Amino acid sequence: MTTESSLVTFGVAESHQATLRMVRRVLSQQGLRVAAELDVTTRIKQELGAGLAPCVVLYVDEPALLLEAVVFHKGAALLVPLPVVVSGNTRHTGIFVRGIMARMAGELPAGVREPLLNLHARIVRAVETIAEREGAHLTAG
């Protein structure tokens, strides 16, 4: 996987609920945890009254990597946990993992960069066990 991509996209021919369960399971099998969760669909429905396809953001971390990162730089807590979006319908679900851009990684202190890249790689490896990569989208400029 290239570190230039800003978004790594996966697809699963399963319902949103089934995929969400699978994502949680494979993340756990990688030793990762979902530190927080945001049900985007419910929030939009409650606050704006608009309906959307199911969409959940999982904030994924690994406590030892988080500790390692914040020991070197307190601001690392802005970067960890990493968001993973699971959005779909009854037949197909997309999983979106924000990539670590080389430009961004190059600006981070080494003590933050390595844990962040390690966490990202573990998330991608976990998702690859259940989903097909649909492509990486590059950011402009």
Q: Where are the domains of the chain?
A: 5-138
How far is it, in rounded angstroms, from Cα 10 to Cα 118? Answer: 19
Res 4: pLDDT:
47
Q: What is the pTM of this model?
A: 0.85
Calculate the alpha carbon distances from 2 to 46, 56, 96, 137 in Å: 38, 25, 15, 11
Place of tokens 């699978």: 22
* CA atoms of 27 and 110, how far apart (whole Å): 25
Confidence (pLDDT) at 67: 85
The per-residue pLDDT for 135 is 61
Structure confidence by residue, pLDDT tens digits, 2-57: 444 578 999 999 999 999 999 999 999 999 999 999 999 999 998 898 988 999 99
Number of H helices, E strands in the chain: 5, 6
CATH number for the region 5-138 comes to: 3.30.310.70
**Which pLDDT does position 111 carry in this prediction?**
73
Whole-number Å distance between alpha carbons of 126 and 64:
18
Task: With cut-offs at 50, 70 and 90, classify the pLDDT of residue 134.
Answer: confident
The string of pLDDT tens digits covering residues 84-130 is 999 999 899 999 998 775 556 667 777 778 888 889 999 999 999 99
Q: How far apart are CA 60 and CA 32, in angstroms?
A: 7
Q: What is the pLDDT of residue 23?
A: 98
Distance CA 99, CA 113 (A): 13
Q: How many CB atoms neighbour CB 123 within 10 A?
A: 27
Reported as a pLDDT band with limits 50, 70 and 90, residue 138 is: very low
Residue 37 forms beta bridges with which residues?
A: 58
Do 8 and 100 meet the contact criterion of CB atoms below 8 Å apart?
no
What's the confidence (pLDDT) of residue 38? 97
Are the C-beta atoms of 80 and 65 separated by less than 8 Å? yes
